[in-house]
Structure 1
Amino acid sequence: MSIVMTAITIDCADPRTQAEFWSAALGWEIESVEVWDAEISRGEKVVQSRESWSNIISAAPNAPKRINFAKVPEGKTVKNRLHFDLKVDDLDTEVSRLVELGASIVERRARAVDGRIDQGQDGWLVMKDPEGNEFCIG
């Protein structure tokens, strides 16, 4: 079997704002509209209008190729069925940086160590991006 995942697509109200947040959060680049135009002209993408386009973030060669942000009319109503897990060296610094970018903290989670709950720095946080999509950071 030969399957290659080329992207993860996130439904959202404002693709540009989401792309800007996640570009800054992950250090990825926002892909230019010229790339979209080329893919559309080759028949690789079908879009209704330029306003409905997903903004795309290109990743480093060793990461997933891209994250698409697709504009949809309905808002988010329930918890995500899929979320990102982010690993960082300095949790407090990165959480502060993400909050400045527009994320919010949902809750701190503890990690189990030797069958006990560790309430220390080894836990992780559940956060939300600017449109309320949950992600974990630890």
Structure 2
Amino acid sequence: MALEWEQLNVDAADPVALGRWWTEALGWVVVNDDAEEFEIRPEKDRLPGLIFAQVPEGKTIKNRLHLDFRPDDQDAEVARLLALGARRVDVGQGDEVTWIVLADPEGNEFCVLSSRRP
């Protein structure tokens, strides 16, 4: 038996707006431009993808699952994401960590890890 990771589902008040934000943030492509289930992937035929599904309720607590990203340049990437509309958030990470916690426009947390540069 084998499993292949197809996608991660993200609840959203506005799937299209949030999906387009992540498309810009990740440089991915749209594979399903549907108002209720908006899907993006790294490339049209490459997995895994992200599906943004419309839900009636808003986000109320810290995510129990989040994405981590490792950039070439942490400072530059954080600045770029903030300019796109992300915001810094405190989820209890403290001051002595090497990653930066941000939230997308609907409040979903994600981490920008330290750079790979030596």
TM-score under structure 2 length normalisation: 0.83
Read off the aligned partner of 2:16 and give its amino acid letter: R
**2:7 aligned partner:** 7
Q: 2:88 aligns with which of 100, 105, 110?
A: 105
**1:46 aligned partner:** none
Against the structure 1 CA distance between its residues 98 and 17, is the aligned structure 2 distance closer, same or farther, given a 3 Å change threshold? same
- Does 1:128 pair with 2:103? yes
Q: 1:71 aligns with which of 54, 70, 74?
A: 54
Shift of 1:58: 1.7
Read off the aligned partner of 2:80 and give its amino acid letter: R
* 1:70-114 superposed Cα distances (whole Å, 9 cap, x missing partner): 000000011101000000111111111101111001147534xxx
**1:20 aligned partner:** 20
Against the structure 1 CA distance between its residues 90 and 69, is the aligned structure 2 distance closer, same or farther, given a 3 Å change threshold? same
**2:29 aligned partner:** 29
Indicate the SS of the match to 1:31.
Answer: strand
Indicate the SS of the match to 1:98.
Answer: helix
Against the structure 1 CA distance between its residues 54 and 109, is the aligned structure 2 distance closer, same or farther, given a 3 Å change threshold? farther
Distance 1:136 1:85 in 2: 5
Q: Which has the larger radius of gyration?
A: 1
- Structure 2: runs of 5 or more not aligned: 114-118
Read off the aligned partner of 1:88 and give its amino acid letter: P
**2:116 aligned partner:** none
Does the 8 Å contact 1:109/1:125 carry over to 2? no
Shift of 1:54: 1.1
Does the 8 Å contact 1:10/1:69 carry over to 2? yes
Distance 1:109 1:85 in 2: 18
Q: Which runs of 4+ in 1 moved over 4 A?
A: none
Q: 1:86 aligns with which of 69, 72, 88?
A: 69
